[in-house]
Structure 1
Amino acid sequence: MYGQLEALPHPHALSVLSAPALPSAVRLARETAEQVLFEWRISGHHPSVGPALLILSELVTNSIRHAAEVSPQVTVIYAAAADWLAFAVHDRHPYQPRLYDAGIRTGRGGLATVMELTHDLCGTAFVRADTDGQGKAIWISLPL
């Protein structure tokens, strides 16, 4: 899983959280994000932070809802540099959603919300499979 870190261009800050794939992981991931952003001196008032926290909550919720049966852990990777913030939600379920079709196929909510917010902030999103094909991480990058 951690091979995906090389996709990030020289992060100046990195933090990783692993938690049981339970509903409480959503709150823990969000609280951890708020703490690392504070430690990295990224203002909670920055226009990207609120949407980033919502995107993170949606992705962790989706991982728990759809992957917990085969993936007892969810991992969140937080990274930042001077002008961007990135995070990934990783689980060991092999299904890789087609992010850019999310709104078309699912209507509103979930991945459609994630993609709309990411697009509105001029961010990027992609899915990266684990090398063994048995898991994936959904990466979101947002400008600061």
Structure 2
Amino acid sequence: MAGKADETEWLAAVFDRLKVLTDQAIAVVAAAAPPTDVAEAEKRARAVGVLARTAKAVAALKPARKTPDEDEMSEDDRDVSDAELAGLQAEFFARVDHLVAAFERKSLAAGLDREPAARGEDPGAAGGDPGDAEVERRTDLAA
């Protein structure tokens, strides 16, 4: 986020400088003597067109100002407490365990029984309760 803030500040400074330079160029064209022939009139018309396009381009660089709502929001507001984090972790692990169990049920139904070592389990724990892994990870269920 700091990079975006730095870029916004830089763009604001560039916009301010370009705006001043554009105003000076407009003042020079406005202060010039009126054209006396067609060639001078064409030259002035081209200069006015260039200045108009320049002013439009500089105006497009104007950085958007933050609204009061955006000023109140920050990354710090998104911090979660330890209790909220524990709750989110418990919910995450419950969902992962549910997905693993569903995957294993479908694998068994399809005849794709995996060896306990392939699941990262102790080969002697083949008869264990599949809910044990959830109890070990979830802090709200641990005794």
Structure with the larger RCO, 1 or 2 (CA within 8 Å, 6+ apart): 1
More strand by share: 1
More helix by share: 2
**Bigger Rg over Cα:** 2
TM-score category (smaller protein) = under 0.3
What's the TM-score once normalised by structure 1's chain length?
Answer: 0.22
